[in-house]
Structure 1
């Protein structure tokens, strides 16, 4: 079922639900400049066998309101507003990339709304104790510098497919046709190849709260993606160390993307956390 949910004055988000409305809820929070449709249907449908699964478009993505001025931290408030709009008191929250940063803010500011959290493709919020986690690869940073360059639709599509190739990492073979098909599907949903720069230029203040993560009591799973070029190892381990209640599971070959090849082991890890949320006391050594 699809609907729009108001989250702020003049701002509505596209939201889709699958599964039993009476089952425990799972909220999927996607990364920057990415429609909720980048959560693969195969993953959504598998989780929806047992859960009420919710995915949505951030502001400036997909069918949600575009063009308003906001700080990235407000996108965490949007996630809470989505839960409110659907009448969901508490949910398991799964966050990827920027969605993982937003989920960390939810853990800090709205722990009463989370049954558990699963984080991947992300690192700790700024200011976390210990050595800073490594940043994106030089190749990826150079590619991102071309993000705002003018391109026609076919060139933009080619740029995005190449972007996914880089994000995919070198852990498993890349199928460019898989990503071209996914981008075309999202373009049809969105009404075109929308610009991908809005989140990159949004206000990023208020995100340096890593020192607070040790207070988190909600059970957290951190999925380590060993081939991730955006948040390379040991980001996942440093995030788990910064959190007060986390354990780590590695998905072999996974990068900063959700190709079909990683969905089964990723779903296994997520479902294990949903069935029996685990914390630091259960963390593998």
Structure 2
């Protein structure tokens, strides 16, 4: 959530991902560099990827970020055309197709990390590498701790109850100021408790997203999308796609050892921990996160 002026020129497009579904897409960085696709979490605009992170990645890659369906400037038609979570992974492929990208490095956060796993499993020919952040494994394989004890995935630690309570609040019409206050509180809880939380930074990010979107309505479409058919146990265990799993010790949505479990279930996956990181992208984590992503992408390119 860093708001320094962008260092690189940005080019915007609209992509037809499916009949009646248009996605806002932005490119940044050298057009002839390897593509790096950023996939954001549920109900969050692609602008949730901080400009400072995009700019650092764009020193080396053609960085692409986009608004999911029912976020930002993309189509909002869930009530007329309900879709499944898996359809959002198909949208990511549609973005690559529309921009003429044969293969890309993919970085996914939260729901985006789930979608990136679907790409690893279902479209490995389109990926140079994948980096998975703040997400859980699409596998039924148990987690094995250092002592050799096994824990089924469904018994791993759950989401912070304070977040569950916030998500369970009944929908209501909020003023802009009320909506911004709700979103800032959401970021506070998502950030965890190991790094200082900058409410002004979170508020500035959300004001920019509201301006980008054109209104402050907070869609719940992704919460209602069909979540069935997502398990990819065998495919993840057999993949040849180079995968990096980013662990946040302050992660409140998928607390440790979810990241460690994910790294166990994906063949050949590497694990890196970003000190203090939760389920958000404050400025304190951007440099180490960018370094980890670029090192992984570079190693994948020259293996």
CA distance, structure 2, for counterparts of residue 238 and residue 232 of structure 1: 11
Give the gaps of 5 or more residues in structure 2: 1-10, 144-151
The TM-score normalised by the length of structure 1 is: 0.95
Partner of 1:231: 254
CA distance, structure 1, for counterparts of residue 295 and residue 283 of structure 2: 19
| CA spacing shift, 1:194–1:128, aligned 2, 3 Å | farther
Secondary structure of 1:4's counterpart equals: strand
Equivalent residues in 2 for 1:201-216, closer than 5 Å: 201-216=224-239
Bigger mean CA deviation after superposition, 153-162 or 205-214? 205-214
Partner of 2:28: 18
Which of 104, 124, 135 pairs up with 2:137?
124
Query: Do 2:247 and 2:273's aligned partners in 1 also have CA atoms closer than 8 Å?
Result: yes
Which of 8, 18, 32 pairs up with 1:8?
18
Partner of 1:158: 181
Bigger mean CA deviation after superposition, 146-155 or 78-87? 146-155
Secondary structure of 1:3's counterpart equals: strand
In the TM superposition, what is the alpha-carbon distance from 1:147 to its structure 2 partner?
A: 6.0
Which of 179, 194, 197 pairs up with 2:217?
194
In the TM superposition, what is the alpha-carbon distance from 1:128 to its structure 2 partner?
A: 3.6
Query: Do 1:128 and 1:213's aligned partners in 2 also have CA atoms closer than 8 Å?
Result: no
- Verify: 1:112 aligned to 2:125, yes or no: yes
Query: Do 1:129 and 1:210's aligned partners in 2 also have CA atoms closer than 8 Å?
Result: no
Aligned pairs, how many? 279
Which of 23, 36, 41 pairs up with 2:46?
36
Give the gaps of 5 or more residues in structure 1: none
Query: Do 1:7 and 1:13's aligned partners in 2 also have CA atoms closer than 8 Å?
Result: yes
Query: Do 2:139 and 2:265's aligned partners in 1 also have CA atoms closer than 8 Å?
Result: no
In the TM superposition, what is the alpha-carbon distance from 1:216 to its structure 2 partner?
A: 1.4
Which of 104, 108, 115 pairs up with 1:91?
104
CA distance, structure 1, for counterparts of residue 83 and residue 139 of structure 2: 19
- Cα offsets for 1:96-145 (capped at 9, x unmatched): 00000000000010000000000011010153444213221111111111
- Verify: 1:60 aligned to 2:70, yes or no: yes
- Verify: 1:250 aligned to 2:273, yes or no: yes
The TM-score normalised by the length of structure 2 is: 0.89
- Cα offsets for 1:191-231 (capped at 9, x unmatched): 01132311001111111333432011100000100101001
Which of 170, 176, 185 pairs up with 2:199?
176
- Cα offsets for 1:18-50 (capped at 9, x unmatched): 011111000000000000000000000111111
> Over the residues paired in the alignment, what is the CA RMSD in angstroms?
1.4
Secondary structure of 2:85's counterpart equals: coil
